[in-house]
Structure 1
Amino acid sequence: MKQNVTFVSGNVSTTERMSSKEKWIVFSFFLAVFIVGLDSFIISPLLSVIGKGLHTTTQGMGWAVTLYAAFYAIGAPIIAPFSEKSSRKKMIMAGLAVFTMATISCGFANQLWFFYAARALAGLGAAMFTPNVYAYIGGNFNREQVAKVMGMVMAALSLSIAVGVPIGSFIAGSTSWNWTFWISGIISLIALFIIMVSVKKDIPSNRAANHNIFKHYQNIIAKKQAWLGLFMMLFWMYSFYAIYTFLGVYIENTFSLSTNRIGLVFIAYGLSNFASSFFGGWISKPLGMKKTIILSGLVCTVLYLLLALTNHSIVLFIIVLALVAFFQGVGVPQLTTYNAVVLPESRSTMTSLSNSFLYLGLTLGSSVGGYLIQSYSFLVLSIVSIVSISISVFISKAVLAKNL
């Protein structure tokens, strides 16, 4: 199937070299995405300790992950069309403000229902914030810069695992899990201030066309390459989050590690994922988008199975986990970039839906994964994840042109 993906130069400089102002913009996004990523990933190693504090089971804590993801998945497509006709800076700041308030509230939770409510609100704030960051990058950096900047900002997710998760686990083990959320909220406030002073206000140039908010959904439905890209993201992220969400529980039960040591295991994952932001280009640049996605997906199918079969050695488990992290770090930015540029006239809506489908994958992964690991085994969970990522690879073969 032939597919033309258009990179549109935005209002930032047309040379590949970034100015100091642009670097501050990238840094502010990096810091904010780091905290939002930490809020998503820190739950896995803390599931048990938070569950004990709130007197609930592992499956009950899994619902905290599900609620965050569900409100993101529901909120993103509702918010998206309004982002098309307003300043993305305002949407970014409003979303980060809601997220910050919710994250701090998580730290004050002493009942399960309150923690659930705060997690749901955090998901809603993230739904407003993250897609608009990606849309801002796609619309305000030129063709040479956009993939590079997207990779740099998404590297914050990797660093949040490599640095944030171990530190958050250490804080939870040394003081209480509440402080992990309070400190995250403080850093989020700092990121909000930097965005306020560094990111310029950008107004969509096609305001008249954006008046009809349903037009953007019609654009996506009419373009097969667009809506198939969303399902490509859904199946890929289900496969990942079904495994990732319950890694902390699996490691604790299989290798009998403490909360602090579980956090250290995630260092290997995070550092490897972060390294892929720099060295993944050696794979993606010569191969192109399509072959990179296919290669990453196929390698992950093997690694998912190996994760379940290396339960006799923590060293082998960590090595396989690091490889999973690397190839996820190579493949996922390609999926995100594709969905950010495939439909320039509805960029905010498309990036919002892409993130919505990502979190829908998280929702299904955390809920279905919780059932699979509790009723069957981690091996069964891994096999279902292998099937899911294989579907994503199959879609990529159909939707992406040979020259991408």
Structure 2
Amino acid sequence: MRKFAVLFFCIMFLIGTDTFLISPLLPTLQKEFGVSTDIAGWMIGAYTLGSAIFALIAGPLSDGWNRKTVMIGGLLGFAVSTMLCGFADSFWTMCVFRFLAGISAAFTAPQVWASIPAVMPPARIGKTMGLAFSGLAASQALGVPIGSWLAVARWSVPFWTIGGIALVMAFTVMYLLPDIKPAAQPGGKGSILRRYLPLITSGRARSGFLAYLLLHLGSGTSFAFIGKWIADQFAYPVSQIGTVMMFLGLGTFVGSLISAAITQKIGRIPAWMSGMLLLSGLYIGGPHLPGITSVTAAYFIIFAILGVLFPIAMEALTSLNASIRGTISSLANSTMNMANTLGAWIAGILYVQLGGYASIGIFSAICLILSLVMFLAGGVFAKKPVEVKTPAAR
């Protein structure tokens, strides 16, 4: 069973590395393709847009297919589209290839979460879920910096490397993972819309997902242009930006490891409130710090706090109703990627038009305060599940 846990960790590590790869490469790619700063962020947004749109249908659709087959197909598409990014000769071709990579990731990642309960014994499901999530956190700490260092030779190398590894992972899944046939669907197949309607009609669910959108909008806007800001503010080349990113990713990894302990110690709501308020202050003050050492330390703390808060938010959302956790997870994934898409677009406008990175920090803080209000006022942390009728009950 350990081989499955390692396999899922590696898949999420690979997807996470590709998701965040563009940020430290943004100054290099901007020069390579000759695009203005206000639209450069779309090289990030194209990936998250593809993932956001197709995550809404990938999860429900794949519930009726062999998950092993879907995972292999997603990894093959991911490998090809990511390698094509290394051959992009213009801004728009890069955006197209990134969009396709995002679509492939939308079909791959949900299969990891859905496959864990199918192949792992009940006693090890929670631990394996945590290990898969740590793969995403570790990708920021190690994958993105490694990609930045590879880009020193040529900016295309990280894309070719990730694509090649994804190809190997596809064949590894083919060899290691058993067939995971779809379970009988209560009430028949139904429509995708019918699976999401109960969440749309629940006020508490709407508050939760809007708050989750604002949380990722604030953090995603800040992250999108941090590499560009470090390059402009401190004249750092891409390799040194990658080193800074390593510390930020390490912060997320550390935060994710201690999240459960902090929540158990002080409670979900106190942890959430104190974390969001501290984040807001750091986002406002961070862009005004004088040196790269203090900036790295401040953003390490920011990413550590985010590592603590994201699992709390996901637990609150998936606790809305245990019977539709798969649908909730798909919608949460789409919400996250849509927020990151908007964040990349907004960051470019703010950076150019409204005073550089300081305006991004203020925007991020406002998003987090609104998210905090929505989570608390909407009763998202209430223990009583929302009343959600599945298609079978209709």
Query: CA 1:162–1:63 in structure 2 vs 1: closer, same or farther (change >3 Å)?
Result: same
What is the deviation of 1:283?
Answer: 0.7
Q: Once the two structures are superposed, what CA deviation does each residue of 1:245-303 show, in whole Å capped at 9, x if it has no partner?
A: 10001111111111111111112111222222323332123334444333332221122
Range with bigger deviation, 115-124 or 337-346: 337-346
Matched, 1:353 2:348: no
Contact conserved, 1:77 with 1:352, CA < 8 A, in 2? yes
Question: How many pairs does the alignment contain?
Answer: 381
Aligned partner (choices 103, 125, 134) of residue 113 of structure 2: 134
- Structure 2: how far apart are the matches of 1:292 and 1:43? 31
What is the deviation of 1:143?
Answer: 7.5
Give the structure 1 partner of residue 389 of structure 2: none
Aligned partner (choices 261, 268, 289) of residue 282 of structure 1: 261
Give the structure 2 partner of residue 187 of structure 1: 165
- Please list, as runs of the form range in 1=range in 2, the aligned pairs for 1:157-176 lying within 5 A after superposition: 157-173=136-152, 175-176=153-154
- Structure 2: how far apart are the matches of 1:280 and 1:268? 18
Counterpart of 1:177 in 2: which secondary structure? coil
Matched, 1:238 2:240: no
Range with bigger deviation, 240-249 or 225-234: 225-234
Matched, 1:250 2:229: yes
Query: CA 1:302–1:203 in structure 2 vs 1: closer, same or farther (change >3 Å)?
Result: farther
Q: Once the two structures are superposed, what CA deviation does each residue of 1:55-96 show, in whole Å capped at 9, x if it has no partner?
A: 223333211111111121111113232123223333333222
Aligned partner (choices 362, 365, 368) of residue 346 of structure 2: 368
Give the structure 1 partner of residue 3 of structure 2: 24
Aligned partner (choices 189, 195, 209) of residue 211 of structure 1: 189
Query: CA 1:289–1:68 in structure 2 vs 1: closer, same or farther (change >3 Å)?
Result: same
Matched, 1:389 2:365: no
- Please list, as runs of the form range in 1=range in 2, the aligned pairs for 1:146-161 lying within 5 A after superposition: 146-161=125-140
Give the structure 1 partner of residue 22 of structure 2: 43
Contact conserved, 1:99 with 1:122, CA < 8 A, in 2? yes
What is the deviation of 1:403?
Answer: 9.3
Aligned partner (choices 107, 120, 126) of residue 99 of structure 2: 120
Q: Residue type of the partner of 1:371?
A: I
Could you tell me the TM-score, scaled by structure 1's length?
A: 0.87
Aligned partner (choices 88, 100, 104) of residue 67 of structure 2: 88
Aligned partner (choices 179, 198, 221) of residue 200 of structure 2: 221
Contact conserved, 1:47 with 1:58, CA < 8 A, in 2? no
Q: Residue type of the partner of 2:381?
A: L
Contact conserved, 2:74 with 2:104, CA < 8 A, in 1? yes
Counterpart of 1:285 in 2: which secondary structure? helix
- Structure 1: how far apart are the matches of 2:322 and 2:52? 21
Give the structure 1 partner of residue 388 of structure 2: none
Contact conserved, 2:255 with 2:304, CA < 8 A, in 1? yes
What is the deviation of 1:382?
Answer: 1.0
What is the deviation of 1:126?
Answer: 1.2
Q: Residue type of the partner of 2:172?
A: I
What is the deviation of 1:190?
Answer: 2.5
What is the deviation of 1:32?
Answer: 1.1
Q: Residue type of the partner of 1:372?
A: L
Q: Once the two structures are superposed, what CA deviation does each residue of 1:89-115 show, in whole Å capped at 9, x if it has no partner?
A: 333332222111110110111222221
- The RMSD of aligned alpha carbons is 2.3
Give the structure 2 partner of residue 197 of structure 1: 175
Matched, 1:399 2:380: yes
- Structure 1: how far apart are the matches of 2:282 and 2:71? 36
Contact conserved, 1:93 with 1:195, CA < 8 A, in 2? yes
Matched, 1:177 2:158: no
Query: CA 1:379–1:90 in structure 2 vs 1: closer, same or farther (change >3 Å)?
Result: same
Q: Residue type of the partner of 1:115?
A: M
Q: Residue type of the partner of 2:382?
A: A
Q: Once the two structures are superposed, what CA deviation does each residue of 1:11-47 show, in whole Å capped at 9, x if it has no partner?
A: xxxxxxxxxx1x2222111111111111111111100
- Structure 2: how far apart are the matches of 1:378 and 1:70? 23
Range with bigger deviation, 96-105 or 359-368: 96-105
Counterpart of 2:179 in 1: which secondary structure? coil
Give the structure 2 partner of residue 10 of structure 1: none
Q: Residue type of the partner of 2:57?
A: I
What is the deviation of 1:340?
Answer: 3.9
Contact conserved, 2:118 with 2:180, CA < 8 A, in 1? no
Contact conserved, 1:293 with 1:396, CA < 8 A, in 2? no
Aligned partner (choices 321, 327, 347) of residue 305 of structure 2: 327
Give the structure 1 partner of residue 358 of structure 2: 379
Give the structure 2 partner of residue 3 of structure 1: none
- Structure 2: how far apart are the matches of 1:107 and 1:327? 34
Query: CA 1:35–1:117 in structure 2 vs 1: closer, same or farther (change >3 Å)?
Result: same
Give the structure 1 partner of residue 248 of structure 2: 269
Gaps of at least 5 residues in structure 2 are: 386-394
Q: Residue type of the partner of 1:260?
A: S
What is the deviation of 1:147?
Answer: 4.7
Q: Once the two structures are superposed, what CA deviation does each residue of 1:195-223 show, in whole Å capped at 9, x if it has no partner?
A: 33333433443414351023211232244
Gaps of at least 5 residues in structure 1 are: 1-20
Q: Percent identity?
A: 28
